[in-house]
Amino acid sequence: MGGGHVKKALITGITGQDGSYLAEFLIAQGYVVHGIIRRSSSFNTQRIRHIYQDPHEDRPRLVLHYGDSLDSESLMRVLHKVQPDEVYNLGAQSHVRVSFDLPTYTADVVYLGTVRLLEALRTLDRPVRFYQASSSEMYGGVTTEALDESSPLVPRSPYAVAKVAAYYQTINHRQAYAMFACNGVLFNHESPRRGETFVTRKITRGLAQIVAGREQYLYLGNLAARRDWGFAGDYVEAMWRMLQHDVADDYVVATGETHSVQEFLDYCAGLVGLDSAACVRVDPIYFRPTEVDHLLGNPAKALRVLGWRPRTTFRQLAAMMLAADLDSVGVDPRRFEALHGFIPDPEPR
């Protein structure tokens, strides 16, 4: 970073999976990171506690502010106080299944929350670069072809409808006000910090509990669904690269490989010597009114224009998550030969 200017980034959703990896990444690039957190009756900062508490820091690297995507005044206040160079809008009700139960709330946070933030940005007297967390869920999974930036959007959940609206609002602000605003259309990305109710983490955590003798069965929904799963730690770099480019644009971020839930389950079960058929029960409660059957992304544009590529394979991702969940239930992952290379760091999960 030239000219001695220390860049400031503001992240909504900093307490989430991606927010925590992005904060780490930006701090490593020399940024001061500001994050918006919600008031909660218990701690919601587990994923960023290790950054916040670093005893070696000589200046604050991470500053947290109370705010909410539902509350324009709070967004306005934080933006004017921080005066950021870059804003990453990751805050969302991000669970697709839950969005069928909470469609209005999901639309409010995901869509109107983005409008509120974009409009608040327009009141600043400085150019700000804006990243919108768009999603492969917007494609609807209606084709087995690899999806890219020109593929049609066919949203099949209240979450996806809200993300499509936010995606177009971001483009509209770019066109109408010449804002530097980018959509990252990210395919599913996971990590040991993934929320426990998303399927990959549910599987690695559930298998770890079975290995530890705490549970007998793992209850899942549609095992036939296919996803293009990558590692969250790789994907946050793509977000940053979008905002460093000369021109604001939209990019697909994916691995270019697709696997079924059943494959992820079988691979993980095999790593710890379990038979998935014996320990998994299908419970229709986890089925969705409309399902996204098949997602496969084509990240060629991100590779060509941003020089970004995923580094973690499907198998490495599964093993990394499983090792971390075994460790957290007191089972040494080294008990399993295939996990020897995946001993978890003492990092938050």
**Nearer Cβ to ligand GDD (168/286):** 286
Choose among ligand GDD, ligand NAP, none what residue 19 binds, the Cβ cut-off being 5 to 8 Å by kind: ligand NAP
Residue ranges that bind ligand GDD, judged by CB under 6 A: 94, 96-97, 135-137, 187-188, 197-199, 202, 220-222, 225, 227, 261, 286, 288, 291-292, 295
Task: Name the H helices within 186-299.
Answer: 199-211, 232-244, 261-271, 276-279
Give residue for tokens 């395919």.
187
Q: What are phi and psi of 88, to 5 degrees?
A: -115, 115
Q: Could you tell me if 129 and 184 are in contact, meaning their C-beta atoms sit under 8 angstroms apart? A: no
Choose among ligand GDD, ligand NAP, none what residue 199 binds, the Cβ cut-off being 5 to 8 Å by kind: ligand GDD
Pair of tokens at residue 10: 């503001």
| Residue 86 bears catalytic tag | no
* Least spacing, CB of residue 167 vs ligand GDD, in Å: 11
**Nearer Cβ to ligand GDD (292/296):** 292
**Three-class SS state of 214:** coil
* Least spacing, CB of residue 32 vs ligand GDD, in Å: 28
d(CA 263, CA 261): 5
* Gyration radius of the chain's alpha carbons: 20
Residue among 291, 273, 233, 243 nearest 31 (CA): 243
Choose among ligand GDD, ligand NAP, none what residue 38 binds, the Cβ cut-off being 5 to 8 Å by kind: ligand NAP
Choose among ligand NAP, ligand GDD, none what residue 97 binds, the Cβ cut-off being 5 to 8 Å by kind: ligand GDD
Which is the catalytic residue, given 135, 151, 157, 191? 135
**Nearer Cβ to ligand NAP (162/272):** 162
Which is the catalytic residue, given 24, 137, 190, 237? 137
* Least spacing, CB of residue 98 vs ligand NAP, in Å: 10
- Spell out the residues 6+ positions from residue 117 whose beta carbon is closer than 8 angstroms to its own: 12, 69, 75, 87, 89, 130
Instruction: Give the DSSP letter string of 150-175.
Output: TSPP---SHHHHHHHHHHHHHHHHHH
Residue nearest to ligand NAP (CB): 16
d(CA 338, CA 319): 8
| Residue 137 bears catalytic tag | yes
| Residue 167 bears catalytic tag | no
d(CA 23, CA 36): 12
Give residue for tokens 């150019």.
127
* Least spacing, CB of residue 195 vs ligand NAP, in Å: 5
* Least spacing, CB of residue 188 vs ligand NAP, in Å: 4
Residue ranges that bind ligand NAP, judged by CB under 6 A: 12-13, 15-19, 36, 38, 40, 44, 68-70, 90-94, 109, 133, 135, 186, 188-189, 195
Active site residues: 135, 137, 159
